[in-house]
């Protein structure tokens, strides 16, 4: 038993004259002996006749030129380089550099600096043996603060956003460069 889709496909092949002679005789027998096939055949034949009766208009010879002229009349958005203020981008970058510098100063302020000074020197002498100092440093005090964790999370997210914007811009420049070469 044919499904409605298979029946329709076979009838379209029959109407279009694409089926083999054996298939045509089988379909003629099905149309003569089955009411469903008769109704579907009449329906598809009506659709086929309506499609033949309608004439498709060919586009004018200037169709492409007319479309391009219409597009040219519209105001195309300028490239982002013209409406993004570079000073704003620089100030955002400066803000993040200042925040990272402040974070590093805060970390260095957590060290317990010890020095042995002499009376002849105005400045104390510091022992900068960093290997020993790093072991003595109380990292849990620094990274246990909720504010520090939130600050670091925000910096990481914003850094990733800036990296994504940079990579997207490079990709766009690459596509524009190759698009101009192909045209």
How far is 42 from 32, CA to CA, in rounded Å? 12
pLDDT value of residue 148: 78
Residue 125 has pLDDT above 60, yes or no: no
Q: Which residues of 54-82 are buried (b: 16+ CB within 10 A; e: fewer)?
A: eeeeeeeeeeeeeeeeeeeeeeeeeeeee
Q: Is the pLDDT of residue 157 over 90?
A: yes
Contact between 183 and 175 (Cβ < 8 Å): no
Enter the DSSP assignment of 68.
H
Q: 183: pLDDT confidence band, cut at 50, 70 and 90?
A: very low
Helices (DSSP H) in the chain: which residue ranges? 4-16, 21-33, 35-53, 63-73, 80-83, 86-109, 130-136, 139-143, 146-182
Average pLDDT over residues 148-167: 89
Output the pLDDT for position 160: 92
Q: Are residues 30 and 105 in the same domain?
A: no
Residues 109 and 160 in one domain: yes
Residue 44 is assigned to a structural domain of this protein:
yes
Each residue of 29-51: pLDDT tens digit?
Answer: 999 998 988 999 999 999 888 88
Note whether 104 and 176 are same-domain residues: yes
What is the C-alpha to C-alpha distance for residues 86 and 92, in angstroms, rounded to an integer? Answer: 10
In a domain, 70, yes or no: no
Do 92 and 178 have their domain in common?
yes
- Look up the pTM and report it: 0.33
Highest mean pLDDT among 119-128, 142-151, 158-167: 158-167
Residue 123 pLDDT level (bands cut at 50, 70, 90): very low
Question: DSSP character for 84?
Answer: S
CB 41 within 8 A of CB 30: no
What is the rounded average pLDDT of the residues 64-89? 79
42 and 109 in a common domain: no
CA dist 8 and 15 (Å) reads 10
- What residues make up the domain containing 165? 83-116+125-182
């Amino acid at each position: 038993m044919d499904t409605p889709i298979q029946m329709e496909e076979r009838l379209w092949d029959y109407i279009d004259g694409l089926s083999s002679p054996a298939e045509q005789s089988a379909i003629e027998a099905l149309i003569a002996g089955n009411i469903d096939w008769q109704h579907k055949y009449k329906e598809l034949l009506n659709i086929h006749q309506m499609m033949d009766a309608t004439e498709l208009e060919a586009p004018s010879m200037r169709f492409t030129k007319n479309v391009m002229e219409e597009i040219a009349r519209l105001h195309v958005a300028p490239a982002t380089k013209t409406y993004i203020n570079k000073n704003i981008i620089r100030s955002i970058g400066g803000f993040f550099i200042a925040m990272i510098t402040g974070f590093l100063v805060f970390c260095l302020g957590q060290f317990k600096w010890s020095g042995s000074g002499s009376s002849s020197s105005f400045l104390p002498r510091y022992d900068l043996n960093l290997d020993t100092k790093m072991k003595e440093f109380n990292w849990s005090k620094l990274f246990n603060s909720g504010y520090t964790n939130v600050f670091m999370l925000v910096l990481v997210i914003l850094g990733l956003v800036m990296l994504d914007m940079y990579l997207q811009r490079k990709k766009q420049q690459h596509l524009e460069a190759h698009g101009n070469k192909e045209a």
